[in-house]
Structure 1
Amino acid sequence: MEGTIDTNSIDNGLRKTKVYRHGTKEYLDMTDSEVRAYAEHIRTVIPREVAFDINGNIYKQLRDGVVLTHFLNHLKKDLISLRSITTNVDMEKQNGVFEASTNLANVLRCAKRIGVVTVNIGPEDILYENRVLILGLLWQLVKMSVTNVSKIMDRPELVNLLKDSENLFDITTGNPEDILLRWINYHLENAHKSEYVANLKNLIIYKVEGQHEDFMAHVPKKCTNFGADLRDSKIYLLVLKQVAGSHITDEAFLKAYIEQDNFKRAENVIKFAEELDCKKFITSEAITMGDTRLNFLFMATIFNTYIGLSKSTSNDVESMRSQIDSLQQEKEKMAEKIKRLQERLENYSDEGKQINDLKKLHEDNIEARKEIYNKALVEHNKTLEDFSNDILMYSDKLGYVYNNEENLSPKDKIMFTVNALTNELEKLRIDNRDLRQMNIIINEIYMKLEKKIEEHIADKKPARKGCLDIFFCK
């Protein structure tokens, strides 16, 4: 490819939307020209019975999704089943907005399937006439339509554009912009070898009276974009003369080329295009403003109508078609591989997220377990400390025998301690039994005492005996 393409201006919107109409102080909205150009193209490819007035409000007519549905079916046959959409949407009725939204959602979903970027646009943007987003969508669809119709990538004449050591794969695997720029530069290179450009250079050398030398001295050799490089219309004139020289005389070409006013020179381009029946999408204002979208579409139309490349023999064509088919299959395989890799990448991303979530959950569990473990460890240490204190206490009770049995193993010492503790517990149980028996005796004594007191009170007899006799003698 010769140079680089200004893809930002092609894909991301217009650089300037309002300009003065040439020769007046009247404003001209370039977005109106753009949507008008798209509408004219759409009208020519959708069925005639579909209601679509290019002189009316284009945005409003797209709200129900019907026109867009038919346009998508033009791009790919039966992409959307007409039975799946509501064709007679009445926006004044209660369910009209819902029906339109359903149609538009279907349109965007199917558009995405054929490669249209729909990231920033939703049904509501079309429904409520978001001009910027609608223009972006129409641009993609119309561009796809024009390049599909002209079959830029499949023309056998493209073999003429190959350079040394190049093959069809080098140019057919690119994008339509690359092909068009290569095609333009091919004709510019040949134009510099032509007689009419030589005559133009002679005019420059002899400095024709009344002509501006600096203006004529510039005969472009390369085109690198569809914006600024085309604003003075010179490349258009050179390309049109190359591809349709029999329809444009040298005199008419030279007269148009040496015109000093860019707008008038652009008008000559429009005039030639009308005569050649390839005037589509473009206006003089679009050329002089460097509208990349409309310039691209117009240049693609010229390519489709007057490619200006010699055709190969039937054998060469068949060989080229075979190569193109082979390359197309390889391209599709590569696209499928890329799709699978993207899916794997998405899966890896999902798995990575799950792993991170599990890792965080695991870390949280570890922290919780650490806390539980630390608490248990503190309690365990306290239990060991209490047990150690108990051992020391009982070892003191065991006295000399335990402390001086140096030949005992730790196990024997533990067993010794356990036996000693068992003996101590048995002693405690015996002492406890004795205490219970003593308690029973004391209770019996108290019961007898209470009985004697009650008898004494009942008899009301004076006490003549000793105090003990009162309680124990009858």
Structure 2
Amino acid sequence: MSSYQGVIVSDPWLQSQFTQVELRTLKSKFISVRTQHGRVTRDDLPPVFAGMKAFSEMFSEDEIKTFLGESNSDMGEEIDFEAFLRLYLDLQGRAVEKSGGLRSSFLKATTTTFHHAINESEKASYVAHINNYLAEDKFLKDFLPIDPATDALFDLAKDGVLLCKLINVAVPGTIDERAINTKKVLNPWERNENHTLCLNSAKAIGCTVVNIGTQDLVEARPHLVLGLISQIIKIQLLADLNLKKTPQLVELVDDSQEVEELLSLAPEKVLLKWMNFHLKKAGYQKQVTNFSTDLKDGEAYAHLLNALAPEHSTHSTLDAKDPTERANKVLEMAEKLDCKRYLTPKDIVEGSPNLNLAFVAQIFHHRNGLTDSKTTTFAEMMTDDAETSREERCFRFWMNSLGATTYVNNVFEDVRNGYVMLEIVDKIFPGTVNWKQANKPPIKMPFKQVENCNQVIQIGRNLNFSLVNVAGNDIVAGNKKLIIAFLWQLMRFSILQLLKNLRTHSQGKEITDADILNWANNKVKKAGRTSQMESFKDKSLSSGIFFLELLSAVEPRVVNWGLVTKGETDEDKKLNATYIISVARKLGCSIFLLPEDVIEVNQKMMLTLTASIMYWSLQQQEAASDNGEISDEIFVEGRENETGLSGETSDVAVDSES
């Protein structure tokens, strides 16, 4: 069963003001205060609200106390969770009023009913995309095509199958479809499992799902469902907008320095660069800087298509005086290139950013107009080995899943100014970053970048990271080995802190790698299985059997043993590895590894996988425990026999001289 249970309040209106993620977060804070004081009163709330980022920049603790006292003079009166939520909303309203009606991104996310109108044109476009790509799916073909004029899309999304299938269309192989519950009628647990699998898999391909919970998807909240679908489709359409997938993009730049800049660009920025490259060659004088206002008149589209498809070139498009007429001619010409008509002339004229981006991406896929002249030279520059590339991908998606303001497109390029690293550290360890000393991008002076990175390194040292002979300029220089090593220690420390902070864990003692190893072996043994692992480098892990037995031990119903192979051949190992990742995500584990990491026994990824399963298991026991005790012995063999990564730090330590 899933770890997401859903927080329900008796007032439907109050329920509608929050997503499930927000309700769980606020409920956790409410319970924390009640646990500390035995009850919750208004007197307890000023430091709680003042510590929230949404309010910390707006109000002092004294101001919050004054506001809370205005509605009720008895600050010592006990309040329940719903009263707590109402006070939160009242304070949120004051924050909006103080900011002049402008909501911060956090405040905007918390009001989910009155400020999220559905864009029917986008909905129709996404429905057309789904109808096209999933028409032959064995399970969904009975429900397709979807009529965009109805709510059939949201009804179909409620069981989670559609969203899981759509993720696999965007990034094939992300979800082992054997792990999806695909019965015609699903019970609540099966539906919840599908949504949990969907959300964890969406994070693993780069979607931002910070404010979406499984209950939101079960209820099929239209703006949240469409928002998630939009992200998934965008990832699919922009998948080839990078130099690894399309090395011909190197034609857009003139020298190696510009190649580095191209590597760090977001896919949509690369798409704009590609569009302007062809427009300039076609003699178009204007620069397109966005997918909205700059495309409204249709002129850029007319020049672009004339340049890319001279066989269909016509002056009638440019001669059209009416923007709607020109937009219609643009779409007619695009259809001759087999570009699906997912937007209307009205969408172009009104400057729909999402649909224009999708349209330009489709043109790129069908006719990018690039040559291979520089490709060979560029290929020599792409020296990353397969493991480094996988680890960069893992850390990139992990960093983006934390909900930082800066979106990471390329780890090795984007961390060099230090700012995104400070954001990530602050997400994991709030209060550790001195923002007064941080330099915010764009940062033109190199020494300002070094200052940011020096603070990152100092925080790492304060956390007892292994940072031998390392300075901030090593990150600025883009040293891939050091960057990966630092991020690994950050991820590992984050996981260990999560385990340590569980109420049911062993009285606040530090968790070690050996504790995780021993817990996993003990769990499998107690379940009557015989597999054991000697370390996180144990080559026997490549078969996948141990992790499947561990998953089955923590939740017996989650593994279908009829789908498990012996893991002896390479093909069987890959089948098991793919199944392991999907089953773990279905259970509720947020993991970012690939099947190859299991097959090749990547030491770092084996630890994170095991620790994520352990964290999920202990969370379930904590939720079910009234007295804080658990049956699992985390420290089963004491500290004298520690094995695993904690005894092998030389493999992951950061040493600038190595």
Show the counterpart of 2:154.
59
Aligned pairs for 1:37-436 (under 5 A) are 37-43=128-134, 50-56=141-147, 57-90=152-185, 96-148=187-239, 154-164=245-255, 166-192=257-283, 220-248=285-313, 252=314, 254-312=315-373, 316-326=374-384, 329=388, 333=480, 334=483, 337-338=486-487, 340-341=489-490, 344=493
Aligned-partner SS, 1:310: coil
The alpha carbon displacement at 1:272 in A equals 0.4
CA 1:141 to 1:184, structure 2 compared with 1: closer, same or farther past 3 Å?
Answer: same
Q: Give the whole-Å Cα distance in 1 for the aligned partners of 2:385 and 2:276.
A: 24
* Larger fraction in helix: 1
Deviates further, 75-84 or 225-234: 75-84
CA 1:174 to 1:52, structure 2 compared with 1: closer, same or farther past 3 Å?
Answer: farther
Q: Give the whole-Å Cα distance in 2 for the aligned partners of 1:229 and 1:77.
A: 33
Q: Give the whole-Å Cα distance in 1 for the aligned partners of 2:243 and 2:138.
A: 24
CA 1:44 to 1:159, structure 2 compared with 1: closer, same or farther past 3 Å?
Answer: farther
The alpha carbon displacement at 1:64 in A equals 1.2
Show the counterpart of 1:431.
none
Aligned-partner SS, 2:182: coil
The alpha carbon displacement at 1:167 in A equals 4.3
The alpha carbon displacement at 1:346 in A equals 8.2
Aligned-partner SS, 1:269: helix
The alpha carbon displacement at 1:79 in A equals 3.0
**8 A contact 1:280–1:301 mirrored in 2:** no
Q: Which amino acid aligns with 1:69?
A: C
Q: Give the whole-Å Cα distance in 2 for the aligned partners of 1:311 and 1:139.
A: 32
**8 A contact 1:266–1:284 mirrored in 2:** yes
Q: Give the whole-Å Cα distance in 2 for the aligned partners of 1:339 and 1:297.
A: 35
**8 A contact 1:52–1:67 mirrored in 2:** no
Q: Which runs of 5+ in 2 are unaligned?
A: 1-104, 394-479, 509-658
Show the counterpart of 1:198.
none
**8 A contact 2:296–2:349 mirrored in 1:** yes
Q: Give the whole-Å Cα distance in 2 for the aligned partners of 1:266 and 1:128.
A: 37
Aligned-partner SS, 2:382: helix
Aligned-partner SS, 1:104: helix
Q: Give the whole-Å Cα distance in 2 for the aligned partners of 1:257 and 1:38.
A: 29
Q: Which amino acid aligns with 1:136?
A: G
The alpha carbon displacement at 1:151 in A equals 5.8
Q: Deviations over 1:99-138 (max 9, x none)?
A: 2122111211222222221111122222222111111101
**8 A contact 1:188–1:239 mirrored in 2:** yes
**8 A contact 1:59–1:131 mirrored in 2:** yes
What is the TM-score normalised by the length of structure 1? 0.55
Q: Give the whole-Å Cα distance in 2 for the aligned partners of 1:47 and 1:150.
A: 30
Aligned-partner SS, 2:238: helix
Q: Give the whole-Å Cα distance in 1 for the aligned partners of 2:328 and 2:218.
A: 37
Aligned-partner SS, 1:166: helix
Aligned-partner SS, 1:324: coil
CA 1:339 to 1:305, structure 2 compared with 1: closer, same or farther past 3 Å?
Answer: farther
The alpha carbon displacement at 1:263 in A equals 1.1
**8 A contact 2:155–2:220 mirrored in 1:** yes
**8 A contact 1:66–1:103 mirrored in 2:** yes
Q: Deviations over 1:313-343 (max 9, x none)?
A: xxx5344234235399475555674454465
Show the counterpart of 2:57.
none
Q: Give the whole-Å Cα distance in 2 for the aligned partners of 1:145 and 1:335.
A: 26
Identity %: 27
CA 1:74 to 1:269, structure 2 compared with 1: closer, same or farther past 3 Å?
Answer: same
Aligned-partner SS, 1:148: coil
The alpha carbon displacement at 1:262 in A equals 1.2
**8 A contact 1:237–1:269 mirrored in 2:** yes
CA 1:247 to 1:50, structure 2 compared with 1: closer, same or farther past 3 Å?
Answer: same
The alpha carbon displacement at 1:258 in A equals 2.6
Aligned-partner SS, 1:54: coil
Q: Give the whole-Å Cα distance in 1 for the aligned partners of 2:500 and 2:146.
A: 54
Q: Give the whole-Å Cα distance in 2 for the aligned partners of 1:242 and 1:220.
A: 14
**8 A contact 1:68–1:107 mirrored in 2:** yes
Q: Deviations over 1:251-276 (max 9, x none)?
A: x2x22113221111110111001111
Q: Give the whole-Å Cα distance in 2 for the aligned partners of 1:133 and 1:49.
A: 21
Q: Give the whole-Å Cα distance in 2 for the aligned partners of 1:278 and 1:54.
A: 19
Q: Deviations over 1:219-264 (max 9, x none)?
A: 652010111111111111111111112221xxx2x22113221111
Aligned-partner SS, 1:154: coil
CA 1:89 to 1:119, structure 2 compared with 1: closer, same or farther past 3 Å?
Answer: farther
CA 1:287 to 1:339, structure 2 compared with 1: closer, same or farther past 3 Å?
Answer: farther
Show the counterpart of 1:433.
none
CA 1:266 to 1:17, structure 2 compared with 1: closer, same or farther past 3 Å?
Answer: farther
| Count of residues in correspondence between the two structures | 300
Q: Give the whole-Å Cα distance in 1 for the aligned partners of 2:369 and 2:269.
A: 17
Q: Which amino acid aligns with 2:358?
A: L
Q: Give the whole-Å Cα distance in 1 for the aligned partners of 2:273 and 2:369.
A: 13
Aligned-partner SS, 1:287: helix
What is the TM-score normalised by the length of structure 2? 0.41
